[in-house]
Amino acid sequence: MEHQNKYPLVFVHGMFGWGGDEGLNSKIPYWGATTGDLMQYLSENGCECYSTSSGPVSSAWDRACEIYARLTGTKVDYGKVHSETYRHRRFGRTYAEPLFEGWSPEKKIHLIGHSHGGLTVRMLAHLLTYGSKEEREGTDEGDLSPLFEGGHEDLIKSVTAICAPHNGALAYTFAKKYKLVAPLKFVAFNYIGIMGRSKAEGSIFDFHLEQFGLSDTPGMQDAFPIRRAKKILLNSRDNVEFDLSPEGAKINNEIMEISPNIYYFSYAYSNVTKMKHIPNRYRAKLADFPFLTLTSNAILVMEHFVTPGYQKTYIDSANDGLVGARSALYPDDEPHRDFDRTDIQPGIWNVMPLRSGDHGTPIGLFADVDPTHDFYHVLIDILTSVE
Asked if the model's pLDDT at residue 313 lies above 50, the reply is: no
Residue 98's closest CA among 120, 55, 68?
Answer: 68
Q: Evaluate whether residue 64 is within a structural domain.
A: yes
Q: Evaluate whether residue 2 is within a structural domain.
A: no
pLDDT at 312: 41
Asked if the model's pLDDT at residue 308 lies above 60, the reply is: no
pLDDT at 22: 87
Helices 246-255 and 116-130 pack at an angle, to 10 degrees, of: 30
For 221-255, what is each residue's pLDDT tens digit? 555 555 556 566 566 689 998 999 889 999 999 99
Q: Give me the sign of the Cα torsion angle 209, 142, 126, 68.
A: negative
- CB–CB of 146/139 below 8 Å? no
Helix or strand (DSSP H, E) at 274: strand 272-274
* β partners of residue 104: 107
Give pairs for 220-225: CB < 8 Å, separation 24+: 220/89, 220/92, 220/93, 221/197, 225/193, 225/194, 225/196, 225/197
Read off the pLDDT band of 273 (50, 70, 90). confident
pLDDT at 278: 66
Q: Point out the least confidently predicted range of 3-7, 124-128, 273-277, 366-370.
A: 273-277
Q: How far apart are the first and last CA of the chain?
A: 18
For 323-353, what is each residue's pLDDT tens digit? 989 899 999 999 999 999 999 999 999 999 9
Q: Is 114 known to be catalytic?
A: no
Range of the domain at 268: 9-385
Return mean pLDDT, the chain. Answer: 87
Q: Where are the alpha helices (DSSP H) in the chain?
A: 24-27, 38-44, 60-72, 80-85, 116-130, 133-138, 170-177, 181-195, 225-234, 240-244, 246-255, 290-301, 325-329, 369-385
Q: Name the more confident of 11 and 322.
A: 11
Percent of the chain with pLDDT over 90: 63
| From 54, 59, 115, 296, the catalytic residue | 115
Read off the pLDDT band of 202 (50, 70, 90). very low
For 126-156, what is each residue's pLDDT tens digit? 999 999 999 999 999 899 999 999 999 999 9
| From 21, 37, 320, 358, the catalytic residue | 320
pLDDT at 311: 41
Asked if the model's pLDDT at residue 281 lies above 80, the reply is: no
pLDDT at 207: 84
DSSP string covering 314-366:
SSTT-B-SSSBHHHHH--TTS-EEE--TT---SSSEEEPPPEES-TTGGGTTT
Residues 282-295 have a mean pLDDT of 78
* Number of domains composing the chain: 1
- CATH number of the domain bearing residue 189: 3.40.50.1820
| φ and ψ of 338, to 5 deg | -65, 140
Separation CA 246–CA 252 (nearest Å): 10
Read off the pLDDT band of 198 (50, 70, 90). very low
Q: Evaluate whether residue 50 is within a structural domain.
A: yes
Query: How do 263-267 and 282-284 pair as beta strands?
Result: unpaired
Q: Evaluate whether residue 1 is within a structural domain.
A: no
pLDDT at 71: 98
| From 82, 166, 359, 373, the catalytic residue | 359
- CB–CB of 75/68 below 8 Å? no
pLDDT at 1: 73
Tell me the longest C-alpha to C-alpha distance in the chain: 67
Q: Is 115 known to be catalytic?
A: yes
For 320-329, what is each residue's pLDDT tens digit? 998 989 899 9
Q: Evaluate whether residue 3 is within a structural domain.
A: no
Q: Name the more confident of 263 and 179.
A: 263
Q: Evaluate whether residue 196 is within a structural domain.
A: yes
